[in-house]
Homo-oligomer: A and B are copies of this chain.
Amino acid sequence: MSETAVPSEPIRGRRGVSDTSTLHEDLVSEIRTLVIEGDLEPGAKIPERVLCERFGVSRTPLREALKTLASEGLLELLPRRGVRVARLTEEDVDQMFPIMGALEALLGELACAHLTEEQFAEIQALHYQMVLHFTRRELAPYFRVNQQIHEKILEAAANPLLLQMYGNLAGRIRRARYVANMSGDRWSQAIKEHEEMLAALSRRDGPALADVLRRHLRNKCETVKSYLRSGT
């Protein structure tokens, strides 16, 4: 993770003509990606100047973006001593887990209630694709498709606010999820859970789906926590 990474071509140059986006949103979303993808270490201090140079903007809009991200819980504001990437503690995960569980349970109900045949078919297709990646032990593509499946389910729930709130929590642990390598056992267990999810979805069995999602989440959570305990 070299300090002199690519200066991420000035944000302003990139923006098209029919410009519905704003500099603020762009900055928020760019920096959010940096944090989630792990380009910025948790706990690392973020001098405003380096991000200013990286994105080619002045401190004013940059600071506004930082405030927004802090409000999302991705950054931490240390008055008079800058901003740092929020560190995910085991305590945080313990607080987040039951909340995500509650949201997933709701998600299961809503998704089953609203899922169309088309959506189910899409999810099914993604599922088989994911299983394929699993059998080939292709971790990155597996994660990508996995992510897509969860997004499809969230989408089916037809509740944008739920999507946003869940997404926010998921974003805060995503980094850890990427790094945490799954043991073989956990991985096949995850696949089994996905099979159950698909079955529950096809039966439109909300409570069953909620239950699977909950167990699935608990395992993800344990994986993250054991990663936190080892690495930090």
A residues whose Cβ falls under 8 Å from a Cβ of B: 22, 24, 60, 63-65, 67-68, 70-72, 77, 79, 92, 95-96, 98-99, 101-103, 105-106, 110, 159-162, 165
Contact = CB atoms under 8 A, between A and B. Distances in A.
Chain A, interface SS category: helix
B98 A106 contact: yes
Contacts of A159: 95, 98-99
A102 B110 CA distance: 12
A67 B102 CA distance: 29
Given A64-B63, A64-B67, A67-B68, A106 B102 contact: yes
Contact of A24 (B22, B60, B67, B103): B67
Given A64-B67, A95-B161, A101-B106, 5 more contacts: A24-B79, A63-B64, A95-B159, A95-B160, A99-B106
A221 to B, nearest CB: 14
A162 B95 contact: yes
A190 to B, nearest CB: 24
A72 B68 CA distance: 9
Contacts of A77: 22, 24
A89 to B, nearest CB: 12
Nearest to A160: B95
22 contacts: A22-B77, A22-B79, A24-B77, A24-B79, A60-B60, A67-B67, A67-B68, A68-B68, A71-B71, A71-B72, A95-B160, A96-B161, A98-B162, A99-B103, A99-B106, A99-B159, A99-B161, A101-B106, A102-B102, A102-B103, A102-B105, A102-B106
A77 to B, nearest CB: 7
Nearest to A70: B68
Contacts of A110: 98
A161 B98 CA distance: 10
Nearest to A94: B159
A72 to B, nearest CB: 6
A22 B79 CA distance: 7
Contacts of A161: 92, 95-96, 99
